Amino acid sequence: MKLLYQTHSPYARKVLVAAHESGLADRLEVIHHETSPTRRNEAVYALNPLGKVPVLVLDDGTVLFDSNVICAYLDDLHDGPKLIPADGAARYRVLCAQALAQGIADAGIAARWDLERRPEALRWPVLADAYRDKIAAACDYLEREIDTAAIDLGAIALATALSWIEFREVYDFRAGRVRLAAWYVAFAERTSMRATALSGATHD
């Protein structure tokens, strides 16, 4: 299988961490592609009409896109402990954690546009602060509620989203959150995380 990837995407990293945790990483040919809303990558657009990575191309040519979809597909391929529980309260806890992580990443990316990526005359600091308020509220929630023992897709999604927030210096999620910070430090030491470190600059 081919995974179209970007070394500084929290969503792509989530997929690759999940693949490592599932024992599937060696089945993926990882191909880096630069994408951004202002940089059209024709190879990516040919597979995903949204022009975004990650994209997974199966051996039979079937194309899957969106990190949530790809992670669910990979979770069906292995016989080990599932990253997404099959049913019950555990399943919805993981799915809500994944949704929260996606919201953190989405808000962080939106904030970064107004902090540094738009032409300076078009930036709106009030909007950037509003997005960072969302991240702060999510992190306050995690300080109270995070399952520090979980090794599942919710934990992977949260760790990779927070890693991007820190990588791009959008928001200091560790400040004043001892429990969340300790969980993140421990999770970041997992082999799957160490093998997939974020790198590279954004090219608009």
Domain ranges in the chain are 2-75, 88-191
The chain-wide mean pLDDT, for the chain, equals 97
CATH architecture of 88-191: Up-down Bundle (1.20)
Q: Which residues pair with 5 in a beta bridge?
A: 32
Are the folds of 2-75 and 88-191 the same?
no
Residue with tokens 């090219």: 203
Contacts of 116 (CB under 8 A, 6+ apart): none
Is pTM beyond 0.85? Reply is yes
**pLDDT tens column, 79-136:** 999 999 999 999 999 999 999 999 999 999 999 999 999 999 999 999 999 999 999 9
As a whole number of angstroms, the distance between CA 44 and CA 177 comes to: 38
How do residues 3-23 score in pLDDT, each as one tens digit? Answer: 999 999 999 999 999 999 999
d(CA 83, CA 93): 12
* 2-75 belongs to CATH 3.40.30.10: yes
Type of residue at 198: L
